[in-house]
Structure 1
Amino acid sequence: MRGSLLLPLALLLAACGSATTTQTIPSISFSTQLNITNQQYQALRFDNGVVALPASGLNGGGVKGLLVVRQNASTYLAFDRNCPYQPYDACSTVSLDRSRLFFRDSCCNSQFDFRGNVTGGPAQRPLRQYSTSLSGNLLTITN
């Protein structure tokens, strides 16, 4: 009898423990444009340059803002700053690490490379990536 109670209890505890890691970042529609020649985006003039943008209202960018990375002169990546590990926590915001070599969520200490892939910490999913297109000096980021 005692053993038959332990299995359901163990399954219940396992399910509760994994609930926070299976939450997903909310999906919002937006479109934003950056003029990459603007002084505030000067980091995007160099390969591996990163610009962090705050969320800015209904048509802003992402749930908690954007991280924009220049891979080369014609390729840019954009990620949501909302960490995929416990995305509903108020502090779950990803930023450029002080070393300027990777992204880090100071809440859970997850780490991500400049392609959005997990490199450390409890996060198991990459950063949410958004579509980018470059036309002249205008970089358009959409979801």
Structure 2
Amino acid sequence: MKKIWLLILFVSVLFSCSDSERSNKNPFIPSYSVNLSVDTNLPAYSNLKYVSNAVIVPNYGAKGIIIFNAGSGYNAFDAACPNQEISSCGAMTIDGINAVCSCDKTSYSLFTGLGSKEYPLKQYKVQVNGTVIHVYN
């Protein structure tokens, strides 16, 4: 009986850890409330209909929100450099399928949010309903 409980505990821990629930704990980026909806039928966001395209929506999060069409869905990240003090850098820029920090020129994948530094991009949740992309936390 004891072995069964240990097996159940192991399986529950194994399945509770997931890359899709990446920790957003970052000492450089404050936790702002984000509730943003964009319609891909609008000209400003129409590029999001196509795979590997991204847009930056200003005035949300710390430095704006980057929304990226990954092909299998959309990713949303804060446009603040994740490894720099928030006041020291401008918003990140988009370079193809990467976001580039304006301070240290570190490049982060918009597919994964990962770069070569300690902290990945701060990620937000995304829900799609027809042509509307809802980004929230």
Bin for the TM-score computed over the shorter chain: 0.7 to 0.9
| Pair 1:132–1:110, CA change in 2 (3 A) | same
Q: Is the 8 A contact 2:126 2:135 kept in 1?
A: yes
Residue-pair matches, total: 111
How far off its partner does 1:93 sit? 2.3
TM-score scaled by structure 2? 0.74
Distance 2:76 2:90 in 1: 18
Q: Structure 1 residue 70 and structure 2 residue 63: aligned?
A: no
Q: Distance in 1 between matches of 2:64 and 2:97?
A: 19
The amino acid of 2:113's aligned partner reads G
Q: Max radius of gyration: which structure?
A: 1
The one-letter code sitting in structure 2 at the alignment partner of 1:87 is E
Q: CA RMSD in A?
A: 1.6
**2: CA distance, partners of 1:136 / 1:142:** 17
8 Å CA contact retained: 2:81, 2:89 = no
Unaligned runs of 5+ in 2: 1-25
Q: Which amino acid aligns with 1:103?
A: A
Query: What percent identity do the matched residue pairs reach?
Result: 27
In the TM superposition, residue 92 of structure 1 has moved relative to its aligned partner by 4.4
8 Å contact kept, 1:23–1:86:
no
Structure 2 distance, partners of 1:80, 1:93, is 9
Cα distance, 1:62 vs. partner? 1.2
> Alignment partner of 1:34: what SS?
strand
Match of 1:111 in 2: 107
**Residue number among 92, 95, 119 corresponding to 2:93 in the alignment:** 95
Q: Which runs of 4+ in 1 moved over 3 A?
A: none
TM-score (normalised: structure 1): 0.71
Partners of 1:53 and 1:79 lie apart in 2 by 10
Query: What is the rounded CA distance, in whole Å, between the counterparts of 2:56 and 2:74 in structure 1?
Result: 13
Aligned equivalents of 2:97, 2:39: Cα separation in 1: 24
Between the aligned partners of 2:135 and 2:40, the Cα distance in structure 1 is 12
Q: What residue ranges of structure 1 are gaps of 5+ in the alignment?
A: 1-21, 56-60
